[in-house]
Structures are given as C-alpha cells and as structure tokens.
C-alpha cells in the first residue's frame, strides 16, 4: 500500500513537469540563417548610408535604405577591383607581383598615407589602396581599352569622361550599391568574361581575413564629394558553404570622418545580420 501511495505522488509531481527537451527552445535564427531581417538603424546611428547583402544559398537580398541602394555614386577605390581585372587581362600588369616604381614625389593633397610612398606591386597596392599605382595602371591601359572593358562588364554608368586617371575618383564614373553586389557576384562566379587566371588573381588579392570560421574578401573606397564625403566597403563573406555578397556606403562630413567608420559600420551590420560571427 505504501509503495502504491509513493508511486501516485511521483505521478502527480511528474504531470506538471515539462520534458527537458521542451524547456530549451531553439534560439531564433539570424537573417543569415533564414531568420527575420533586423533593423540596421542602430548601426548607422542616424548617418545616411545603405547596406545591401545578397545570400547566395537562399537567393534573397537584404537592403537598408533601398532607395539609396539604387543611387549611383562615385566608386572611389572600390574601382581598384575592375581596374585590376582589366590590367591583368590586357597584360598591362603581368601578375600580382608586378612592380611599378614610385616617382619619389609625394602628393601634398594626400597627407597621412605614408604606406603609399614607395615602390608597389599589385598585391601591396590594393592592400594599401595606393591611388598613384592604379592611376599609372589606368594610363597604361588607355581610354579605348578601358571603355571597351567597362562596356563589356556593364560597370555602373561606364562613364570615363572625367579623365583616364581620375574618372573613378569623385568624377564621372558612378555605380550603385545594388550594382556593386551584382558585379561582385559575377566576379566570384567567373561570369565577367575575364580569363580564369585573371579572376583567380583578383580574388586572391582581395582576401582580407581567412579564418577557420569564414573568409572575408573586400575593398574600401572613399573620398570627398560635394557637401561632405563618402565611404564604401564592398566584398563578400564565404562561410559554412554559403557566400554573402555585400556593398555598404555611408556619408560623412569629410574623408577623415568616414575612413575608419566605413569598415566599422559594415562589420557591425554583417555581425547584426549573422553573416560574420558575433
């Protein structure tokens, strides 16, 4: 009788309990893993800017400020990506170790860029965003070949009328964040019409971080524009068998105000979306 009574008490106590598996609901998925899109307003903090991210596995796109994502703006040094592709394909640059000698003249309009003022090869020039190197590359490419390739790949408005060594620096060439993402998708897939060797070299020199968890390939850009400055970070993250392509631009009062902020904002946005580890 005593045994039956204890069993009844245990049964009653157990009736109100929840199985352990039901007490730990699965954490909500972030956007990168199929969850809902968060607001990036806290990341931009009231500063005008846009962020576009394309998830290749799920075929969906996230946009912060969709109207701005369609607006064409100067690419500044993000143009070093197509500039590198064209230079390699035409033979103007033979490979990632191709050196151009510095002319020993510092540009007084470019203070604070000490890493620029030496000889550079393609790999170091894109890593340090060396403007003079890529200006010389563009001159050697020439306007006819440059125009032909920009028309072929459909890069932004394809307008090089601002001068062969200036058109991408706050001048005539314009591209939107949406178009940047499309360009990067075609680059990654080898669908821009460049040789496999050219494509492989450019993809290799774009890698910023290669960790066991992810690989980040990206290029900054930025400069002064009427009324202030513009900063870019464009690229892609390869993670867990997926590729996330992104383009971010943000306004500032001058270049100094966007030089570091462009990368900080883009990284924070990618973490908030779950593209980069938190």
Q: Is the pLDDT of residue 16 over 50?
A: no
What confidence tier does 4 reach under pLDDT thresholds 50, 70, 90? Answer: very low
Spatial distance between the Cα atoms of 246 and 255, rounded to a whole number of angstroms: 22
- The domain segmentation of the chain, as residue ranges, is 46-273
Q: What's the pLDDT tens digit per position in 204-244?
A: 999 999 999 999 999 999 999 999 999 999 999 999 999 99
How far apart are the C-alpha atoms of 13 and 5, rounded to whole Å? Answer: 13
What's the CATH class of domain 46-273? alpha beta
CA distances from 77 to 7, 14, 32, 56, 166 (A): 76, 66, 28, 25, 11
- How confident is the prediction for the chain on average, in pLDDT? 91
Mean pLDDT within 43-71: 97
What phi and psi values does residue 187 have, to the nearest 5 degrees?
-60, -50
Taking only the tens place, the pLDDT of each residue in 192-215 is 999 999 999 999 999 999 999 999
How far apart, in whole angstroms, are the C-alpha atoms of residue 234 and residue 247?
4
Cβ pair 187, 206 in contact under 8 A = no
State pTM to two decimals. Answer: 0.89
Is 74 designated active site? no
Active-site entry in 69, 77, 84, 217: 77
């Amino acid at each position: 009788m005593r045994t039956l009574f204890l069993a009844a008490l245990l049964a009653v106590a157990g009736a109100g309990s929840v199985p352990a598996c039901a007490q730990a609901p699965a954490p909500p998925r972030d956007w990168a893993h199929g969850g809902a899109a968060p607001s990036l307003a806290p990341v931009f903090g009231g500063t005008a800017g846009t962020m576009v991210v394309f998830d290749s596995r799920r075929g969906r796109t996230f946009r912060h400020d969709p109207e701005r994502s369609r607006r064409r703006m100067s690419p500044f040094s993000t143009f070093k990506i197509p500039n590198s592709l064209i230079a390699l394909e035409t033979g103007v640059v033979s490979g990632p170790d191709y050196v151009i000698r510095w002319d020993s003249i510092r540009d007084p309009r470019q203070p604070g860029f000490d890493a620029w003022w030496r000889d550079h090869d393609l790999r170091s020039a894109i890593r340090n965003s060396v403007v003079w190197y890529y200006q010389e590359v563009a001159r050697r490419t020439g306007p006819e070949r440059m125009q032909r390739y920009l028309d072929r790949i459909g890069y932004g408005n394809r307008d090089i009328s601002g001068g062969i060594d200036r058109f991408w620096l706050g001048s005539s060439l314009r591209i939107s964040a949406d178009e940047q993402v499309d360009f990067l998708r075609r680059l990654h897939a080898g669908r821009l019409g460049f040789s496999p060797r050219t494509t492989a070299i450019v993809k290799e020199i774009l890698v910023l971080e290669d960790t066991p968890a992810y690989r980040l390939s990206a290029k900054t850009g930025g400069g002064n524009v009427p009324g202030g400055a513009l900063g870019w970070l464009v690229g892609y993250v390869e993670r867990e068998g997926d590729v996330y392509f992104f383009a971010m631009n943000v306004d500032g009062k001058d270049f100094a105000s966007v030089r570091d902020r462009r990368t900080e904002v883009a990284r924070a946005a990618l973490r908030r979306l779950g593209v980069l580890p938190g």
